[in-house]
Structure 1
Amino acid sequence: MGHVILLGDSVFDNARYVPGGPSVIEHTRRALPAGWRATLLAVDGSVASGVRAQLDRLPADATQLVVSVGGNDALGHSALIHNAAAASFAEVLHRLGEICVAFQADYRAMLQALAAKGLPTIVCTVYDAIPGLGLPDLTGLRLFNEVILREAFRAGLSVIDLRLICREAADYASTSPIEPSAQGGGKIARVVARAVAESGGPTAGSRVFA
């Protein structure tokens, strides 16, 4: 029997944003095969460097890890996209490149901490169909997702591509449009359940689930 651990941010820790509706962890427990368990260690607001602290609470009988993080890392730089002045396009690209380098270091360090647990691990991209998301934000998210995919494939990990799962406005919570709604959470949970059942062991190689 499997024991799936959800790590990361409010993509998984979304209960407060779906009052009266099932959260992602509730959906996941329903979607998993009979006898399987799921535990939520993700914490709303977390960034990639914070996932290592979540691992301190890892249950001894955990069998698989699923991580969704990166959105808050990107959100922390939104002021640069919207407000910062630049003398040239090259300067803009240079600043964005520095952000990507820093995020890559944090994300790689997180994956190394996960790998040290010796458990099959799946990571998620950052979804980008958020209602009201403008082209500058969308472009910024693409840079973060490129890092996530590169580092996941470098480590031989499978990926749940949330960009292909949460594509409708109704997939996002009315209380906070950057969080999954009950509908979106259900979609995510069903793919999580399929991915943990099909992705194989730590050395099985990368697959993309959507």
Structure 2
Amino acid sequence: MNHVALLGDSILDNRAYVAPEPDVAEQLRARLGRDWRVSLVAVDGHVTGDVERRQIDRIPPDATHLIVSAGGNDALGHASVLSARAETVADAVDLLADAQASFAASYTRMIDAVARRGLPTAVCTIYDANHPEPQHRLVVASLALFNDVITRAAFSRGLPVIDLRLICTDPADYANPIEPSALGGEKIAGAIADLVRQEPSGRSSVWC
């Protein structure tokens, strides 16, 4: 039997934000049917380091596919950069580059640890969220630096990417500014289901 394990944060572990409506794991089970199992390993609030240190060991031994959605909480941890003072644009970019480099080191360690399981694996980008303007504009621009890390890591390893920026595009897709609603979760589950039903190619592809 095929068995999908979901790793990461509240993008996949969104029950607290949608109950009594179905969460992503429930919606994925409904999409895939009886021939598939779905295990929720992701934990609301976890960062990439938690995936590496605390979630990988909890992957079920019979898992056949891994989906990783991590990085949003790492980005939140660097949010103070947006209010930091800088004398020049170059100084501001340098601050953002430091945040990106820190995230890249953590994300690379995490995805390499996941890859050592030797299972078909896909990663998710960080979506744009649903902040009001002008915050939304700043968040989207800043997250591009973090998403560049994710896509580079995936493409250099031949992993598929589920681009949540192209999936959760409507305010109704969000239960609050940063968590997926039941509607957004249904879209995410649909993309995951479409991806895992395909035979792994060993080449990167983008799903949305």
Partner of 2:151: 149
Partner of 1:159: 161
In structure 1, what residue type is equivalent to 2:61? A
Q: CA RMSD in A?
A: 1.2
Q: Take 1:196 and 1:11, find their aligned partners in 2: how far apart are those partners?
A: 18
Q: Offset of 1:2 from its aligned partner? A: 0.7
Do 1:129 and 1:168's aligned partners in 2 also have CA atoms closer than 8 Å? no
Aligned partner (choices 192, 203, 209) of residue 207 of structure 2: 209
Partner of 1:10: 10
Q: Take 1:115 and 1:79, find their aligned partners in 2: how far apart are those partners?
A: 31
Q: Offset of 1:50 from its aligned partner? A: 1.1
Partner of 2:102: 102
Runs of 4 or more consecutive aligned structure 1 residues displaced over 4 Å after TM superposition: none
Partner of 2:142: 140
Q: Does 2:192 correspond to 1:192?
A: yes
Q: How many residue pairs are counted as aligned between the two chains?
A: 205
Q: Take 2:171 and 2:7, find their aligned partners in 1: how far apart are those partners?
A: 24
Q: Take 2:13 and 2:160, find their aligned partners in 1: how far apart are those partners?
A: 21
Q: Which moved more, 1:180-189 or 1:24-33?
A: 24-33
Query: Given the two structures, how large is their TM-score scaled by the length of structure 1?
Result: 0.94
Q: Take 2:129 and 2:66, find their aligned partners in 1: how far apart are those partners?
A: 25
In structure 1, what residue type is equivalent to 2:162? I
Q: Please, which runs of 5 or more residues in structure 2 have no aligned partner?
A: none
Q: Offset of 1:72 from its aligned partner? A: 0.7
Q: Take 1:54 and 1:34, find their aligned partners in 2: how far apart are those partners?
A: 25
The SS at the match of 1:190 is helix
Q: Offset of 1:19 from its aligned partner? A: 2.1
Do 2:69 and 2:124's aligned partners in 1 also have CA atoms closer than 8 Å? yes
Q: Does 2:79 correspond to 1:78?
A: yes
Q: Take 2:106 and 2:129, find their aligned partners in 1: how far apart are those partners?
A: 25
Q: Offset of 1:127 from its aligned partner? A: 0.7
Q: Take 2:33 and 2:65, find their aligned partners in 1: how far apart are those partners?
A: 14
In structure 1, what residue type is equivalent to 2:127? Y
Q: Take 1:155 and 1:45, find their aligned partners in 2: how far apart are those partners?
A: 26
Q: Take 1:2 and 1:196, find their aligned partners in 2: how far apart are those partners?
A: 9
Do 1:161 and 1:208's aligned partners in 2 also have CA atoms closer than 8 Å? yes
The SS at the match of 2:100 is helix
Query: Given the two structures, how large is their TM-score scaled by the length of structure 2?
Result: 0.95
Q: Take 1:41 and 1:169, find their aligned partners in 2: how far apart are those partners?
A: 27
Q: Please, which runs of 5 or more residues in structure 1 have no aligned partner?
A: none
Q: Offset of 1:143 from its aligned partner? A: 0.7
Identity over aligned pairs, percent: 50
Q: Structure 1 residues 49 and 8, CA, compared in 2 at 3 Å: closer, same or farther? A: same
